[in-house]
Amino acid sequence: LHPVHRLFSCPGTVAADVKKEEQSSGIAETGSEDRTPKKRFSEVQKERREQAQRTVLIHCPNKISEKKFLKYLSQHGSINNHFFYESFGLYAVVEFCQKESVASLQNGTRTPSMGTEAAIPFRSRCFNLKLKNPSNQTSEQPCVSRSNQSPPSSKKLFELLCDAESIDDQLNTLLKEFQLTEENTKLRYFTCSLIEDIAAAYFPDCAVRPFGSSVNGFGKLGCDLDMFLDLDDIGKVKEHKTLGNFLVEFQVKNVPSERIATQKILSVIGECLDHFGPGCVGVQKILNARCPLVRFSHQASGFQCDLTTNNRIALKSSELLYIYGALDSRVRALVFSIRCWARAHSLTSSIPGAWITNFSLTMMVIFFLQRRSPPILPTLDYLKSLADAEDKCIIEGHNCTFVCDLNRIKPSGNTETLELLLKEFFEYFGNFAFNKNSINIRQGKEQNKPETSPLHIQNPFETSLNISKNVSQSQLQKFVDLARESAWILHQEGNDHPSPSNSQLWGLATLLLPSVAKNMSQAKRKRKKPASERVKNLLESIKSSSTENPTNTSGT
């Protein structure tokens, strides 16, 4: 039996530790040998949503005795799990075993009297904990350990990358450092369930579900929190047992279109968040977008949130990415590195615009892995062919059917290393005929572009849509140029053999420095100096640029 691979049953846990075990036991590092049953996306979502509903968030004094704190809260019921984290103060996330404990805590909690200000008495699951006698409780408290919710600094990342043993090791290290932790994932589901409480004041049977990179396995610490208000269950009749000749319907307000209904609902929920959502600040209603949304910051968790409604197709595409990420351990390592590379070179941005998005980059990696020989990832059509009756899924007329049980998908026999795949990714897209071909993960084949956008990546379910319609020709060209330069750098490194042990930047670390690509391209143009001198100058320039102008790799 192979080492237990915890990665997929628990999205926050780490592949790299397991990788070390695999290496030491001499197992090829494809991840394809892994036989541990993996949970379905819907099971993970259901479990985490239920956990989140019996969880509370408590703002604590900085000095607190963990033992006394837990003892105090256990008056309301047993605690299943808890952790502390820092975000403008100390917070505790406490998950009770029973949902009733939350109500018990709420019943014993008062609304603060505010002096000159007034409080809106909304009883959420966020609390402030005060010490009754601060003077005799704060002295000599050991510091509680805090779970980290942020990505590593550039300095720390470069150190870790330079200490790695191989380029494969570097990619796995980057994944380990940037992927969402177990705690961060919990906090994301919890934040959605707080928003659900507010929306449920109007729509008692609604659900607020996270989607996108928070749940698809490709989220980096610090990424935004996409969530949608799911009202689907409200329309459904639970049990249709009533006899007789009559049918009863609710009287409802009719509006001219689905879009207007969405705008009205989001508008009201936006107002509620703004007016009585504790810690919901900077609420913006962006209702005229193609997909109307409410954007806000959730202060206590530190998440930038995007709330949409009826976005079931996006949830299905999150599920598809979750499956692709879980099928082979190389997928996430490669996607994370490409995302960090793109961010470091300002190919992606947190501001919407003509740039490539992380979602598009992920699709490009998946497509590339479908094109390997033998393929590392199956096509979407193949996943559809494995589907059984219960997997059938049609949303708004779009066929979103694919196999949901990951354990029924045969692992790939491809054993290529991450180093090779990284190099080949840059070469493949450095030479891709973007002017005539489209990227399509459904068929896993290059196809003629149906329209003239510079970059065409077919939406896997709404196949007439291009997910990268926003990308301009110049942004695409920048991507192509950087891909070529990065392929060249990796190729040169292979030839020049910089020693990993000399603590200089090498491998992936070199690729993540924007100045390096520039210097490399200049060096390439000049090509006058001997190779050894070029490398020496390059390393000098890296040293100065990394101290003067550290790269921001921590953005989304």
**Cα torsion through 341, 346, 352, 353, rounded to 10:** -120
Q: State which residue, 221 or 268, has the beta carbon closest to ligand CTP.
A: 221
Note whether 230 binds ligand CTP by CB under 6 A. no
Q: Which residues contact 248 (CB under 8 A, 6 or more apart)?
A: none
Note whether 359 binds ligand CTP by CB under 6 A. yes
Binding region for ligand CTP (CB under 6 A) out of 154-162, 172-180, 248-256, 355-363? 355-363
Residue from 195, 231, 314, 418 that binds ligand CTP (CB under 6 A)?
A: 314
Binding region for ligand CTP (CB under 6 A) out of 86-94, 176-184, 209-217, 256-264? 209-217
Contact by Cβ (8 Å): 306, 287 = no
Note whether 213 binds Mg ion by CB under 5 A. yes
Note whether 30 binds ligand CTP by CB under 6 A. no
Note whether 226 binds Mg ion by CB under 5 A. yes
317 binds, among ligand CTP, Mg ion, none (CB under 5 to 8 A by kind): ligand CTP
Note whether 224 binds ligand CTP by CB under 6 A. yes
* 63 three-state secondary structure: coil
Contact by Cβ (8 Å): 389, 497 = no
Using CA atoms, how far apart are residues 84 and 61, in angstroms rounded to an integer? Answer: 12
Binding region for ligand CTP (CB under 6 A) out of 144-152, 192-200, 311-319, 480-488? 311-319
358 binds, among Mg ion, ligand CTP, none (CB under 5 to 8 A by kind): ligand CTP
Residue from 212, 270, 279, 507 that binds Mg ion (CB under 5 A)?
A: 212
- CA 243-247-252 angle, to 5 degrees, is 145
Query: To which residue do tokens 């541990």 refer?
Result: 36
Taking alpha carbons only, the member of 72, 71, 66, 68 closest to residue 109 is: 72
Note whether 453 binds ligand CTP by CB under 6 A. no
Burial class (CB in 10 A: 0-12, 13-18, 19+), 295: middle
**Residue 349 Cβ vs ligand CTP, minimum distance, rounded to whole Å:** 10
Note whether 213 binds ligand CTP by CB under 6 A. yes
* The two structure tokens encoding residue 345: 């070179």
Residue from 219, 325, 500, 507 that binds ligand CTP (CB under 6 A)?
A: 219
Q: Give the rounded distance of the alpha carbon of 518 from its chain centre.
A: 30
Q: State which residue, 60 or 326, has the beta carbon closest to ligand CTP.
A: 326
Q: Which residues contact 210 (CB under 8 A, 6 or more apart)?
A: 188, 189, 192, 225, 226, 227
* 334 three-state secondary structure: helix
Note whether 274 binds Mg ion by CB under 5 A. no
Give the count of beta carbons closer than 10 Å to the beta carbon of residue 174.
27
Contact residues for Mg ion, defined by CB under 5 A: 212-213, 224, 226
Contact residues for ligand CTP, defined by CB under 6 A: 211-213, 216, 219, 223-224, 226, 314, 317-318, 357-359, 467, 556
